[in-house]
């Protein structure tokens, strides 16, 4: 079969965009390049892989898991069913942390990424701050394996700790502590494709969605430098309640809630109050 024939075949099972994305991935070309090789005859092994992947998509598996990687902040990260699929909102979280470190002129920050999953946050920060001391933490062995693979593929030297939040983390002081923890409420309705594919351990944060934040902030004071940034991704309805929790737990703190590009509360930042 030719590239053109495979694209036509793929449209029977999924969207044109996804069909081209799959085929381009397996042919190791940019999707736009497919138009220049429509007459190319494709190897049988790739055809079989392509058809198997189309079947997975038709069964409502996320394309990111089918392809096996995502682009995050311009970097290629491995993902599978053991880790969440990174969202654009998390890129915004990273952008804000980068801005903070550059504003403070901190070129060798000590960074702790709690609940790292695939490692996209901590590894992206390490990529841009080569002298950073970055530690990635997760309770899931399978997630840590994915994060280690990503660190290796990006040639980044970071630390890994298996821990339930701070439980196994040696006492130390950090410039930045960042987390995108589970924050979906237990009874909250979410997309079926997310509910049926992504790990529930990384999705659900208790009845009000704040259980993981409570576990983090109750111990966090012991791990903060005098000047610090805490960066959380949050559920869009949780900002004010989490702000109150932080203010009651972290003395002399300044809490800022920021909206994402969809104009929803999505990030909460905590700094030392210097007023």
Instruction: Identify the pLDDT of residue 195.
Output: 85
pLDDT band, residue 273 (cuts 50/70/90): confident
Q: 115-130: per-residue pLDDT in tens?
A: 999 999 999 999 999 9
pLDDT band, residue 254 (cuts 50/70/90): very high
pTM score = 0.91
Return the structure tokens found at 167: 């439980």
Instruction: Identify the pLDDT of residue 191.
Output: 87
State the Cα–Cα distance between residues 185 and 171, nearest whole angstrom: 31
Output 230 or 31, whichever has higher pLDDT.
Answer: 230
State the Cα–Cα distance between residues 123 and 151, nearest whole angstrom: 7
Q: 195-223: per-residue pLDDT in tens?
A: 888 889 888 888 899 999 999 999 999 99
Other Cβ atoms closer than 10 A to 182:
20
Instruction: Identify the pLDDT of residue 151.
Output: 98
β-pairing verdict for 159-162 and 133-138: parallel
State the Cα–Cα distance between residues 158 and 123, nearest whole angstrom: 8
pLDDT band, residue 275 (cuts 50/70/90): low
Other Cβ atoms closer than 10 A to 17:
11
Q: Kindly list the distances between the CA atom of residue 71 and the CA atoms of 35, 75, 79, 113, in Å, as whole numbers in the listed order.
A: 22, 5, 10, 19
Q: 220-252: per-residue pLDDT in tens?
A: 999 999 999 999 999 999 999 999 999 999 988
Q: Kindly list the distances between the CA atom of residue 75 and the CA atoms of 22, 30, 119, 123, 179, in Å, as whole numbers in the listed order.
A: 18, 15, 12, 10, 19
Other Cβ atoms closer than 10 A to 239:
21
Longest dimension (CA), the chain: 68
Mean per-residue pLDDT over the chain, rounded: 94
Q: 103-114: per-residue pLDDT in tens?
A: 999 999 999 999
Overall average pLDDT of the 158-181 stretch: 97
Share of the chain above pLDDT 90, in %: 85
Angle at CA 180, nearest 5°, toward 175 and 185? 140
Contact 225, 174 (CB under 8 A): yes
């Amino acid at each position: 079969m030719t590239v053109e024939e495979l694209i036509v075949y793929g449209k029977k099972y999924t969207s044109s965009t996804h069909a081209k994305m799959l085929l381009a991935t397996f042919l190791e070309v940019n999707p736009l390049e497919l138009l220049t090789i429509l007459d190319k005859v494709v190897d049988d092994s790739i055809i079989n892989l392509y058809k198997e992947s189309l079947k997975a998509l038709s069964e409502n598996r996320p394309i990111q898991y089918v392809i096996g990687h995502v682009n995050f902040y311009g970097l290629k990260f491995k993902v599978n069913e053991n880790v969440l699929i990174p969202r654009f909102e998390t890129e915004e979280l990273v952008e804000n942390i980068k801005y903070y470190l550059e504003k403070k002129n901190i070129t060798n920050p000590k960074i702790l990424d709690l609940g790292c999953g695939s490692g996209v946050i901590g590894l992206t920060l390490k990529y841009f701050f080569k002298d950073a001391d970055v530690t990635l933490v997760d309770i899931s062995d399978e997630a840590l394996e994915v994060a280690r693979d990503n660190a290796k593929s990006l040639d980044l030297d970071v630390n890994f700790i298996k821990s339930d939040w701070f439980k196994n983390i040696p006492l130390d002081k950090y410039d930045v502590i960042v987390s995108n923890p589970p924050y979906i409420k237990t009874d909250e309705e979410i997309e079926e494709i997310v509910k049926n594919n992504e790990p529930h351990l990384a999705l659900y944060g208790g009845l009000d969605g704040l259980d993981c934040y409570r576990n983090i902030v109750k111990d966090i004071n012991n791990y903060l430098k005098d000047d610090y940034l805490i960066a959380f991704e949050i559920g869009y309805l949780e900002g004010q309640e989490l702000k109150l929790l932080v203010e009651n737990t972290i003395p002399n703190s300044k809490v800022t809630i920021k909206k994402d590009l969809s104009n929803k509360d999505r990030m909460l930042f905590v700094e030392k109050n210097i007023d």
